[in-house]
């Protein structure tokens, strides 16, 4: 996939590291070159994105989930006591918030996720 100077740099750094750490076995594989399967995979992801049908595992990514939850309204109380409250409603509703409406704010939130 990567060609030219980047591959040469990787090979050079690996050779330097091998000299510095001779007890560790290091191997550089040849360039992948252009792989039709990789190009097809990229094209498939592009089409999914254009059609709004992205089904990748990033849908469950902790960073995305935290950013989506960043605008939520939490009513957790720290007064843990021994009796049970029967009302499970907190008395008001919330409008759906688009977490992607402000991309800059979204990216700021995801980088705050532990």
Buried b (16+ CB within 10 A) or exposed e, 92-103: eeeeeeebeeee
pLDDT tens by residue, 61-103: 777 677 666 544 444 445 555 555 555 566 677 777 777 778 7
pLDDT (mean) for 29-52 = 87
Residues across the chain = 114
Residue-range domain boundaries for the chain? 56-73+97-114
Q: How far apart are CA 28 and CA 11, in angstroms?
A: 7
For 90, phi then psi, to 5°, come to -100, 15
The pLDDT score that the predictor gives to residue 19 is: 96
pLDDT band at 40 (very low <50, low <70, confident <90, very high): very high
| Dist. CA 69–CA 49, nearest whole Å | 23
* Average pLDDT score over residue span 39-58: 82
Q: Are 64 and 110 contacting, i.e. CB atoms less than 8 angstroms apart?
A: yes
User: Residue 67, exposed/middle/buried by CB under 10 A (0-12, 13-18, 19+)?
Assistant: buried
Helix (H, G, I), strand (E, B) or coil at 46: helix
Predicted pLDDT of residue 85: 56
């Amino acid at each position: 996939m990567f060609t030219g100077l980047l591959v040469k740099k990787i090979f050079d750094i690996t050779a330097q590291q091998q000299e510095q750490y001779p007890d560790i076995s290091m191997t550089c594989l040849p360039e992948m070159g252009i792989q039709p399967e990789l190009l097809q995979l990229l094209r498939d992801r592009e089409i999914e994105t254009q059609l709004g049908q992205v089904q990748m595992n990033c849908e469950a990514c902790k960073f995305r989930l935290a950013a989506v939850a960043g605008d939520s309204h939490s009513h957790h109380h720290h007064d843990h006591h021994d009796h049970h409250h029967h009302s499970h409603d907190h008395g008001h509703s919330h409008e759906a918030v688009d977490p992607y409406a402000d991309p800059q704010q979204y990216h700021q939130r995801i980088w705050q996720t532990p």
